[in-house]
A and B are shown apart, each in its own frame.
Chain A
């Protein structure tokens, strides 16, 4: 779901592809993406879930306020994926619990 044409902004077509994994599956984004924007572009909206009822959660604010986008990244839980820059080789996972101090 990338923007293809825009009257004001110019999104470079030749941006560098960045490969990472999502729940163990190969995934990719582009240079300049956050983890959440890369996932959203691939059609992944569910990033986490509520703790008690396990209701699906996606990001709401995209600027690091709402905590609805928190995932486990490279073994570190509760990473705000909407403001964390995507880096090559990242292992991104939907968190299954509140997040222990260090799961790894």
Chain B
């Protein structure tokens, strides 16, 4: 059994930033990630980020990943990185079991930060299990990490920022986006992204969804259908497109199985993407010294995951007795950054979700 005061699970933006801030405070930690490389989903994001400069706005996700990795890499004596290591169990006595390159290891921790991110939601329609139907993240991974096109003609489902941005990235990769369908009457993401797509000739069909996919071994065609104001299908409005891929961008859901396993109090909040842990304003769950940050505490943007990671790293270290020299100042700064990120009409859903979660203003 390995003993370590602080263990951080997940090496995406939230986990990396938590590790960096812990190290700054002088707290050592093990950072565990199941992938061969750290960086989480940033490593496939070729678009420039929004937000303010503090969260690396106007920088591409792939470059933010490099920056955050460098930050953590500058504390080799404090942060021990375990790659290709999957946490398979989290127990109430704070024992973590890990499958690391075919070896089964146990760690006794005092504090644990869970930053396991999210997984993609699926959409129900006939034949939705055919090969050639991918989540938007999968499409990004395939194109932007491995340089492989998901298909030659694709239909996009969902007009949130991910749907809009990935449609553009598909065009950059040389894939034809035959249509973008959105079930709601309104475009979900930023108008600037939607306008860009329209300029390039992509039709955006609101109040429209997928009725079924057609294909034998893989997708060959897709049938769309219009929806009325009560979200019911309007017969006779079916339209068939020849496509070899369908991209589903209908949102994410937090990956919280480890938190459920250890017995954290959970709550279903649709605005935050599903089942989320109940937290106090210090990102601590219902169990002492078990923290959560990033998408696994509720779906937001990567910019918020970065700030939440910093904040959680700071707080967890302080409780372990390593208080950052600028603790109070930084906590205020991070909390106000989060407030800014959740401001305005696009933050309304998150604000409402956090209100339902109760207790916390910056979960």
A-B contact count (CB 8 A): 101
Structural contact, A45 and B131, CB atoms closer than 8 A: yes
Report the bound CA distance from A33 to B134 in whole Å.
Answer: 18
| B131–A57 touching, CB < 8 Å | yes
A61 near B129: Cβ-Cβ < 8 Å: no
Interface check B151, CB cutoff 8 A: yes
Q: Contact check, A58 vs B218: say whether CB atoms are below 8 A apart.
A: yes
Chain A interface secondary structure, helix, strand, loop or mixed? loop
Known: A3-B174, A56-B130, A85-B36. Is A11-B147 also a contact (CB below 8 A)?
Answer: yes
Chain B residues with a Cβ closer than 8 Å to the other chain, count: 37
Within 8 A of B (CB), among A1-42: 1-9, 11, 32-34, 37, 40-41
Contact indicator A60/B138 (Cβ below 8 Å): yes
* Candidates A11, A47, A61; contact of B138 at CB < 8 Å: A61
Of the four ranges (under 10, 10 to 19, 20 to 34, 35 or more), the interface on chain A belongs to 35 or more
Query: Given the complex, which residues of B lie within 8 Å of A46, measured CB to CB?
Result: 131, 217-218
Question: Which B residues lie within 8 Å of A58 (CB)?
Answer: 130-134, 218
CA distance A1 to B132 in the complex (A): 13
Q: How far is the CB of B158 from chain A (nearest CB, A)?
A: 15
**Contact residues in B for A63 (Cβ distance below 8 Å):** 35, 41, 119, 137-138, 141
Contact A3–B218 (Cβ < 8 Å): no
- Given A3-B173, A60-B133, A65-B119, do A9 and B147 touch, yes or no (CB 8 Å)? yes
The proximity string for B residues 22-45 relative to A, scoring 1 for CB distances below 8 Å and 0 otherwise, is 000000000000111000010000
Chain A residue nearest to B172 in the complex (CB): A7
Instruction: Please report the C-alpha to C-alpha distance between residue A58 and residue B246 in the assembled complex, in whole angstroms.
Output: 12
| Chain B contact residues, majority secondary structure | loop
A-B contact list, 17 entries, CB within 8 Å: A2-B149, A3-B147, A3-B148, A5-B174, A6-B172, A6-B173, A8-B60, A37-B148, A41-B146, A55-B129, A56-B217, A58-B134, A59-B138, A60-B133, A60-B134, A63-B41, A64-B34
**Are B146 and A57 in contact, with the CB atoms below 8 A?**
no
**CB within 8 Å of B: which of A61-93?**
61-66, 82-83, 85
Bound Cα distance A9, B172 (Å): 10
| A100 to B147 alpha-carbon distance, docked (Å) | 34
Residues from chain B with Cβ under 8 Å of A82 in the complex: 138
* A34 and chain B: residue at smallest CB distance: B146
Q: Which single residue of chain B is at the shortest CB-CB distance from A12?
A: B147
B161 at the binding interface (Cβ < 8 Å): no
Which partner residue on chain B sits nearest A33 by CB separation?
Answer: B146
A50 at the interface (CB under 8 A from B): yes
| Chain A residues with CB below 8 A from B143, complex form | 3
**B261 is an interface residue with CB less than 8 A from chain A:** no
A61 touches B218 (CB 8 A): no
Is there an interface contact between A65 and B217, defined as CB atoms closer than 8 Å?
A: no
